[in-house]
Amino acid sequence: MIKVVLVDDQPIFREGIKKLLEQDKEIRVVGCAGNGRAALKLCEQFLPHVVLMDVEMPICDGVEGTRLIKTQCKNTKVIILTVFNDDEKIQSALNYGADGYILKDIDQEKLILTVKGVAAGLGVMHKDTYNNVVKKANSCSKISIIENKGLKVYLSDRELSIIRLIVDGKSTNEMAQIVHLTEGSVRNIVSGILKKLDLKDRTQLGILAVKNDLV
């Protein structure tokens, strides 16, 4: 049984998606929330396999919600489901570890297949969204792609800057001064990078960066 949490600030939409998903006997919606912070509480309570989450929500949007859930509930998969084909939102969600990004015009059969696929460990993305992200990645203007253990991970310019400073041997304090952030923010970025790339420490990160010609 695949446990799902639905996150959208429109109760009517949540109820509609719930009915669609639960027509499949292998899927059960265990909770619904109206923003990312409320979704995190449900994830901590029910440990769902998949979260289906809108982007534009009050209090805590889908991008920040993705960051929170991926930080606290590492085994939960996150699919962004939205009407917005927004490149910046897509990149931000991917940077925080989103496992899928689809538009709300998806039909029922594809939605169910997407939930099952992501629960099984696949990454799923709307074709137009995928094309836009790949174009951005290839131009290196917004994000870069690094591969580790067969997985492709998207890194933002900020994350790449931090990685290069780590390879240069900079301390957390030095990095914070260079990128004009607090030491706490730098530590959070480093932790996020290590988690996304499934690495244990900065040494492994440095080696991987060199192998992928990031420095």
- Write out pLDDT tens, residues 41-99: 999 999 999 999 999 999 999 999 999 999 899 899 999 988 866 667 777 787 788 88
Cβ pair 68, 93 in contact under 8 A: no
Q: What percent of the chain has pLDDT over 90?
A: 43
Q: Which burial class, exposed, middle or buried, applies to 183 when counting CB atoms under 10 A from its CB (0-12, 13-18, 19+)?
A: middle
Residue that finishes a domain, picked among 134, 161, 180 = 134
192 and 147, same domain (yes or no)? yes
Residue that finishes a domain, picked among 114, 134, 154 = 134
pLDDT value of residue 21: 96
Whole-number Å distance between alpha carbons of 205 and 60: 30
pLDDT value of residue 153: 67
Backbone angles phi, psi at 204, to 5 degrees: -60, -40
What is the domain-level CATH number for residue 108?
A: 3.40.50.2300
pLDDT value of residue 152: 59
95 and 164, same domain (yes or no)? no
| β-strand pairing of 50-53 with 27-33 | unpaired
pLDDT value of residue 133: 56
| Residue 178 belongs to domain spanning | 140-211
102 and 188, same domain (yes or no)? no
21 and 51, same domain (yes or no)? yes
pLDDT value of residue 74: 87
pTM, entire model = 0.63
**Which parts of the chain sit beneath pLDDT 70?**
84-87, 126-153, 215
Token pair in block for residue 105: 């015009």
> Taking the CB of residue 192, how many other CB atoms lie within 10 A of it?
19
Torsion of CA 130, 134, 140, 144, to 10 degrees: 70
In 54-167, DSSP assigns E strands to: 77-82, 100-103, 124-125, 143-148, 151-156
- Number of folded domains that form the chain: 2
Residue that finishes a domain, picked among 108, 134, 160 = 134
Token pair in block for residue 150: 């067969």
117 and 147, same domain (yes or no)? no
165 and 182, same domain (yes or no)? yes
90 and 29, same domain (yes or no)? yes
121 and 183, same domain (yes or no)? no
